[in-house]
Structure 1
Amino acid sequence: MARRRDGQEARRRDTRPMKEGGLEAERLSLSDLLDTLPVPVIVYGADGRVLFANQARKDFAGDDVATLDGAIARTAPATEDGQILPRERLPALRALHGESVRGERLRLRAADGHTEVLLVNASPLRDADGKIAAAVVVFHDITDLSDLERGRRELFAMANHDLRTPITVILAFVQLARRVARKDPDRAVKALSDIERQAQRMSRLVGDLLDVARFESGAIPVRPTENDLVETLRLAIERQSELSRFAISAPDAPVTLTFDVDRVDQILDNLLSNAIKHTASDTTVDVALTLERDEIVVRVTDHGGGIDADERALLFQPFYQTPRGRSYGGTGLGLHISRRIAEAHGGRLWLEDTVPGKTTFALALPRR
């Protein structure tokens, strides 16, 4: 018996810290716990008053929103693609009417004016009598995912169009060349040139898609050899359609280092062609190659009006195109692929801060 009492006393001593720890945890209020969550949480009463909003919600919409109507005015709820959301479709109101809302995608405006795409879940809270007393709404930021999905949709739509168009043109010109080859050789030669141009366009598109797939899988196809970067840069410029608009500053002597000449040429061609597209015909594109510490840096500067601050962080994301850039076609993959190629060489590709009206992209390769 004494041994049993000793064992029971030992167990009581062992469990006492756990009970004290449990009491300590119970002292933490629910609001304190919810404030630690990184996702916005808000609770509306049956009359639409805000009963609780955690810190993440206050950071997003402001801490002065006291009602559901105030929240609607502040956040301007819209569908993911920007269409105004009818009031009766608001997740909070639907929850106050007894519906559990799961996975609703909304575009909401934050207190500072920027918008985010949020995944919204809302549930009714009932009192002891089963009546709806409140609704709890939880938000998850999926803006990056939404942008990526939109980019992929646009890419596939563009790929469908841009692959079909050259194929149609190629087939038409093949038939034309076959008909006129003997009667009108000059016209046949022009048709063959058009076929070649459309085939190259299709090849570039397919190449971009394959490059993205390779990079995402980790199979980066880079084969470095010793090459002259000055010569590579000059050849890339000479291929551009408006050669006279380029002003180049580079050493007269060769700058030899180890890189994949085809891949670096791909980066340079992307930067140079983009610069020409985004500048007026009476302006120049400045290209400079400099030796800086352990790197060789190529800078391409255009005078096309600059890039908006909210677009700068998105430029290197796959499939992203600026509103102005969409008018030129393309895949929205060029800068993303170029940066991945630079990184595969142990180098860097970035957008520099410049004075208004200018845009400078810089490529740095190690001098090892």
Structure 2
Amino acid sequence: MSDDRIDFDPASVRDLAEAVAWARARLPGELVMLSLVDGTRLLPLDLPPPTDQPADSFAVGSGPLEPPDSDSRDVYALVEAIEARFSPILSEGHHVFEPEGWPGPVTAYVLRDRVGLVGFAAVDGAQEEAPGADEDLASAIRLAHRLDAAAHQTTETVILNEVVSAASETFQLPKLLGMIARNVAMVSGFDRASILLLEGAGRLKAAASQFSDGHHDYKLWATFDDIVVPVPAFVTAIDTLEPSVFEKAEEAVDLLPEGWIGPLGLRSVVVLPLIDGEQPIGVLVLDSLERRRITPQRLAGAVRVASLGAQAIGLVRMVESERASKQRAQTVLGTVAQATSQLNTMGVLGVLADAMRDILEDTSTVAFVLDEGRPGRLAVRGTGDGVFSLIDLLEAGVGTSAGTSAFSQSTATSLELNSTLAPVPEIAALGIGRVALIPVRKSGRDIGWIVSYDPEPRPHEESRIRIASIVASQSAMAVETAQIIETERTKVSRLEETDRLKTVFVATVSHELRTPLTAIVGFAEVLAEMIDDGDMKDHIEDIRRESAVLESLIGNLLDTSRLDGGMLSLDIRSVLIEPVIAEAVELIRYNNGDRTIRFDVDGHPGIVNIDPERVRQVILNLADNALKYSPPEEPIDVLLNQDADGVTIHIDDAGAGIPVDERASVFQRFYRLDTHEELAGTGIGLYLVRALVEAHGGTISIHDSPSGGARFTVRLGFPQAEVDDGLESDLG
């Protein structure tokens, strides 16, 4: 082009692109670099494409980026060469040189205006002094830069407002992270921004990566699995991390994951800490596929947006934490309620295994109880691949710091094994990745453990481990209760079996006794007819009387056996109650000739629906009981009366009476009063009496008799007492 100066008004420049266009028009050769000056450092400006060249050929950030093609013209090689010759170029105002790594000579021009040094312009080839590299061009570039800075400030303000709006309206962490990453990239002028939120010892909580034009970076996502292998330096240094700028990405190799710089072709990197209040929550990584210097203004803007973004993230995480707390409470309460509803150990273990597998998001979970310190009964959920081999390794102490069984770690609230943070080769050889061990602990005592595992090596989230620990702790009582219930059930089963065998024995013995007893009674009757001797007749009468007592006892034993087996039935008929009671009283008098038994009837009792033989048996047992516990010289009273609701039978004795607190107990099978242990008896008479009375729909109770002894009162319906069809089952 001509060296003639092209006149223009510097004050009319509207933006940096127009200033660059004027520089191209006023300077000889091809404009290859235009920079501002910060001390002795050059800050290259992005050069828009010439108006005669398609914009797409220079566009950056219009989609997923790839490393640029090899270009022999490295602008930063030119920048470093000018910085190395800063003083000579500054003094000459025009300097021709050939930078290392540049294909040919370059001419640098110093740009000054009335204020001072503005920057440098470089054109391709060896050029003469250019009249166009004057104060007007320098002023235009300074003004354009100020306008660009003002526009950038406006953009930054808009972006900050957008961040605040997103935090207050969306409350969706993934969307917020992507928006913050995009906006920081825009403010910084870098191609891409990636956010890593961390928790605990380098665990990746959440991540997002976006280009400055808003496109998601799926290529970088593919490397996130390697972020914690090894743990990046910025994780361990996050508490003291300051904004770090690396013009050459390879200088950040000690800070960033190995899989980011070389494979992704990164050229320049900026690492910014994300601080919410005073708490570090993660990092933001800016990178460029072309070498780039960030201006102080853009770095400050990126720090401001990142800082506000960290506060927004903190707000959203707080809201999410509240939601998670409610969900966690629901999970804990739901699981504990479901576990508590199980009445057997395997049911509780199954509930816990299901819940833990969902909470920890693993493919397999096993819950088991300890039996003498070793894994006992267990429930497996999921695939269960390698579960027994894994338990053997854990029991052998593989992966534990002390080398002892993992299930003897009585102070640990949880254990994490074979994750990327603590690999265990023996476990990895089973095709298993991370392993979480949660104790089921009650009052400081381990009653079981939960082992949850997955092929994925990335550690479990700490929040999920906490939930799992709470569920296990709160469910420990359900496990212990289920074990107690099962123990008691076993005891009951044994007692029931013992009782059944006893019932069979009693029934068998009773049947065996009845046969010879029948012979004894029969021969006694024959002897009574054959012998006239008075003394002998008295002896024979004693045999008959004692045989009747024995027969009554055997009958009670047999009836009790039938009652327990549900086989005792009633022959219900409509009969007059008075003759039934009178016959029983006469039999009692006959069998106890030396005792006084008084029978009194009040009114005219009517017809009742009863089994006469069983009601007679009730009166015989009650009278026999009264005679046994009364002094021989005292009478026994049997009273019968009626009212509108039925008939009442009283049997009164003159004995010592029955304490109030024992009156309900005397109707229990085999129950004997401590004060009368010296008296013979089986303890089944009153038990059978109550069963027979209640089978008739009646009631029996105990009171004090007028003579100070005991009064047994039987109430039976009158005149048409209905009897349930399910009588036999009721008796059982």
Normalising by structure 1, we get a TM-score of 0.52
The partner residue of 1:322 within 673, 677, 699 is: 673
Once the two structures are superposed, residues 300-351 of structure 1 have per-residue CA deviations (whole angstroms, 9 ceiling, x without a partner) of: 2223222134422222222222234543323322112222222222222222
1:206-217 pair list within 5 angstroms: 206-217=554-565
3-state SS, counterpart of residue 297 of structure 1: strand
Residue 213 of structure 1 aligns with an amino acid whose one-letter code is S
CA distance in 2, matches of 1:335, 1:197: 21
How far is 1:353 from its partner? 6.7
Residue 221 of structure 1 aligns with an amino acid whose one-letter code is S
**Residue equivalent to 2:332:** 26
CA distance in 2, matches of 1:191, 1:356: 34
3-state SS, counterpart of residue 288 of structure 1: strand
**Residue equivalent to 1:280:** 631
CA distance in 2, matches of 1:208, 1:358: 25
**Residue equivalent to 2:692:** 341
Q: Contact 1:305–1:356 (CA<8 Å) still a contact in 2?
A: no
CA distance in 1, matches of 2:540, 2:693: 36
How far is 1:212 from its partner? 1.8
Once the two structures are superposed, residues 27-85 of structure 1 have per-residue CA deviations (whole angstroms, 9 ceiling, x without a partner) of: 6999x9999999xxxxxxxxxxxxxxxxxxxxxxxxxxxxxxxxxxxxxxxxxxxxxxx
**Residue equivalent to 2:409:** 128
**Residue equivalent to 1:69:** none
The partner residue of 1:251 within 587, 599, 602 is: 602
Q: Contact 1:291–1:297 (CA<8 Å) still a contact in 2?
A: yes
Once the two structures are superposed, residues 131-151 of structure 1 have per-residue CA deviations (whole angstroms, 9 ceiling, x without a partner) of: 9x6598976789999999799
3-state SS, counterpart of residue 250 of structure 1: strand
Alignment pair present for 1:294 and 2:648: no
CA distance in 1, matches of 2:661, 2:500: 17
How far is 1:363 from its partner? 0.8
1:73-88 pair list within 5 angstroms: none
3-state SS, counterpart of residue 631 of structure 2: coil
Q: Contact 2:631–2:655 (CA<8 Å) still a contact in 1?
A: yes
Q: Contact 2:601–2:639 (CA<8 Å) still a contact in 1?
A: yes
CA distance in 1, matches of 2:536, 2:639: 42
* Cα pair distance change 1:220/1:34, threshold 3 Å: same
How far is 1:296 from its partner? 0.6
The partner residue of 1:270 within 621, 640, 643 is: 621
**Residue equivalent to 1:237:** 585
Residue 225 of structure 1 aligns with an amino acid whose one-letter code is R
- Percentage of identical aligned residues: 22
CA distance in 2, matches of 1:194, 1:358: 28
How far is 1:262 from its partner? 1.6
Once the two structures are superposed, residues 89-129 of structure 1 have per-residue CA deviations (whole angstroms, 9 ceiling, x without a partner) of: xxxxxxxx989xxxxxxxxxxxxxxxxxxxxxxxxxx8516
CA distance in 2, matches of 1:135, 1:165: 59
CA distance in 2, matches of 1:310, 1:147: 26
Alignment pair present for 1:218 and 2:499: no
* Cα pair distance change 1:200/1:297, threshold 3 Å: same
**Residue equivalent to 1:6:** none
How far is 1:153 from its partner? 6.7
Residue 551 of structure 2 aligns with an amino acid whose one-letter code is S
Q: Contact 1:315–1:335 (CA<8 Å) still a contact in 2?
A: yes
Q: Contact 2:626–2:653 (CA<8 Å) still a contact in 1?
A: yes
Q: Contact 1:298–1:363 (CA<8 Å) still a contact in 2?
A: yes
Residue 645 of structure 2 aligns with an amino acid whose one-letter code is D
Q: Contact 1:226–1:259 (CA<8 Å) still a contact in 2?
A: yes
Q: Contact 1:174–1:195 (CA<8 Å) still a contact in 2?
A: no
CA distance in 2, matches of 1:347, 1:313: 16
**Count of residue correspondences:** 265
Q: Contact 1:226–1:256 (CA<8 Å) still a contact in 2?
A: yes
**Residue equivalent to 1:57:** none
CA distance in 1, matches of 2:716, 2:693: 7
CA distance in 2, matches of 1:155, 1:246: 36
* Cα pair distance change 1:135/1:302, threshold 3 Å: farther
Q: Contact 2:604–2:641 (CA<8 Å) still a contact in 1?
A: no
How far is 1:272 from its partner? 1.5
How far is 1:266 from its partner? 0.8
> Gaps spanning 5+ residues in structure 2: where?
1-322, 344-371, 375-406, 413-443, 448-479, 721-732
* Cα pair distance change 1:283/1:216, threshold 3 Å: same
* Cα pair distance change 1:193/1:336, threshold 3 Å: same
How far is 1:283 from its partner? 3.7
3-state SS, counterpart of residue 351 of structure 1: strand
CA distance in 2, matches of 1:356, 1:201: 26
Greater RCO between the two (CA within 8 Å, min separation 6)?
A: 1
Q: Contact 1:271–1:300 (CA<8 Å) still a contact in 2?
A: yes
How far is 1:280 from its partner? 2.4
CA distance in 1, matches of 2:615, 2:660: 27
Question: Which protein is bigger by CA-based radius of gyration?
Answer: 2
CA distance in 1, matches of 2:579, 2:446: 67
Alignment pair present for 1:358 and 2:709: yes
3-state SS, counterpart of residue 329 of structure 1: coil
How far is 1:298 from its partner? 0.8
CA distance in 2, matches of 1:154, 1:214: 9
* Cα pair distance change 1:147/1:228, threshold 3 Å: farther
The partner residue of 2:576 within 222, 228, 239 is: 228
Residue 557 of structure 2 aligns with an amino acid whose one-letter code is L
* Cα pair distance change 1:242/1:321, threshold 3 Å: farther
CA distance in 1, matches of 2:705, 2:324: 60
CA distance in 1, matches of 2:514, 2:602: 43
